[in-house]
Amino acid sequence: LPWNGEVHTVLSPVCIQTAEGLKRKVIGTYPLCTEKESFEALDAAVAAYDNGRGEWPTMSVSDRIDCVALFTEKMITKKDEVVKLLMWEIGKSHADSVKEFDRTVEYIYATIDALKDLDRRSAQFSIEQGIVAQIRRSPLGVVLCMGPFNYPLNETFTTLIPALIMGNTLLFKPPKHGTLLHYPLLEAFSTCFPKGVVNTIYGRGNKIIPGLMKSGKINVLTLIGSSKVADELKKLHPKVNRLRAVLGLDAKNAAIITAHADLSLAVQETLLGSLSFNGQRCTALKIVFVHRSRVDEFLELFAAAVAKLKYGMPWEEGVALTPLPEPHKPAYLKECIEDAIALGAHVVNENGGLTNESFVYPAIVYPVNKGMKLWEEEQFGPVIPVAAFDDLEETIQYLIDSTHGQQVSVFSNDDDELAELIDPLVNLVSRVNINCQCQRGPDVFPFTGRKDSAEGTLSVVDAIRSFSIRSLVATKL
């Protein structure tokens, strides 16, 4: 892009050998907006919304659907470029990058279908007490939309597309790691939607976002990211009670493997749950509780399963473990492992925790206990803390004490045991997975969390609701 201002140099997690050792490869630059430029983008979004009188918020639902469908057609033609950038910018394997792209396209088409259906139903009139009302779904105003680095396309679009299709205007800041991959889509944004409807801002969130929040002109904040950042940003809004927030935040999902579990199934699901995309998923299993009677067997099987995972570059066939995009992550994970070791744990698997500039070999750490970083912190990487328990009550207490409340996985073949656990668990977290890993999908399922893990609900239909208000036109007969 032509740009005269300051730029950010993008370093790929893919490293190259240099005279000073292994270094992250430079793969491009993107502009760093100034505060002034971010306010210009905000003004453009406010003007395009024009208090609900703008071309976009007043356009019929079917015309807005047509614009989004056209955008999607153009997006599909950019698949190869976006997939390549997903691999280079965030180190996602080719298979997972293709999945992320295809899942996003499917999500958009599902949103269109769901909206057509809702619109058909809301077009019905309701007559009560001599008043007839037409119920509509109306936009909310200007939406500030920020997605995460681990799903920079998919999770950004699970908020951006519903916000857009409901008639809101947008300020969109791509994640720090995961900006370049949005470039191929910029032209489609500018040709498929009226001017000022989608405004992309680049740069340092901590420099430009606070001012936008303080302006009071943001009606909806949507962020998939850190609970701390979300809390800080919300507080800056002058009328925080009038701000709608749609947030997907931190999580520390636990697996509970009881004495009655099918251990090979538990190992297989825990492996996927803890190490897909190197554990960099909010839904990842970030601590594993195993009944003391099965823990040795579990550790042996789990270490053997980890040893079979192929590591390498994102484009290599069958690769499961890839380099990490956040430069601070290898040192942070090492610190977590060392903290656990200092407090009595050990690394169970061979080579566990070996690091270089951008890679960390998965580490199974046992026994993890209260007081260790790995007990509480969301490590968001390839380190799997394992704890032994004697009584299921200990695992429930862990969830009660936790500030997080997204999901839990329970592995047991005992129906009575499961029946006793489900009610307490589902009142502590927002999804209980029986004999399977934690995950967001299928995307038609509601996706939310309790405590510090979320605000509002996503999913195809829930997102449409989250970015609109039910308004009505009522006439006395």
**Under the rule (CB under 6 A), what is the footprint of ligand G3H?**
150-151, 155, 281-283, 439-441
Q: Residue 155 or 452: which CB sits closer to ligand G3H?
A: 155
Alpha-carbon gap, residue 196 to 182, rounded angstroms: 18
Contact 291, 258 (CB under 8 A): yes
Q: Which is nearer to ligand G3H, 71 or 277 (CB)?
A: 277
Nearer to ligand G3H, 283 or 379 (CB): 283
Contact at 8 Å (CB) between 399 and 392?
no
Six-digit token string for 44: 């453009």
- Shortest distance, position 33 Cβ to ligand G3H, whole Å: 26
C-beta closer to ligand G3H: residue 278 or 402: 278
Cβ atoms 110, 444 nearer than 8 A? yes
Least distance in angstroms from the C-beta of 360 to ligand G3H: 18
CB contact at 8 A, 466 and 456: yes
Residue sitting closest to ligand G3H (CB)? 282
CB of 47 to ligand G3H, least distance (A): 33
Nearer to ligand G3H, 25 or 99 (CB): 99
If the CB atoms of residues 101 and 151 are measured against ligand G3H, the closer one turns out to be 151
Q: In what order do the strands lie in the sheet with 244-248?
A: 198-200, 169-173, 142-146, 220-224, 244-248, 454-455
Outline where DSSP puts E strands in 169-212: 169-173, 198-200
Q: How far is the CB of 142 from ligand G3H (least distance, A)?
A: 25
CA distance 67 to 45: 18
Element housing 154 (H / E): helix 154-165
Give me the residues paired with residue 222 across strands: 145, 246
The residue (of 223 and 282) whose beta carbon lies closer to ligand G3H is 282
Smallest gap from residue 141 Cβ to ligand G3H (A): 26
In the complex, the smallest distance separating the C-beta of residue 422 from ligand G3H, rounded to whole angstroms, is 21
Measured distance CA(406)–CA(273) in Å, rounded = 14
Shortest separation between residue 80's beta carbon and ligand G3H, angstroms = 22
User: Cβ of residue 282: shortest distance to ligand G3H, in angstroms?
Assistant: 3
| Vertex 334: Cα angle to 332 and 338 (nearest 5) | 120
Helix, strand or coil for residue 365?
strand
What are the phi and psi torsion angles at 45 (to 5°)? -65, -40
- Give the nearer residue to ligand G3H in terms of CB position, either 323 or 449: 449
List % helix, strand, coil for the chain (3-state, nearest 5).
45, 25, 35
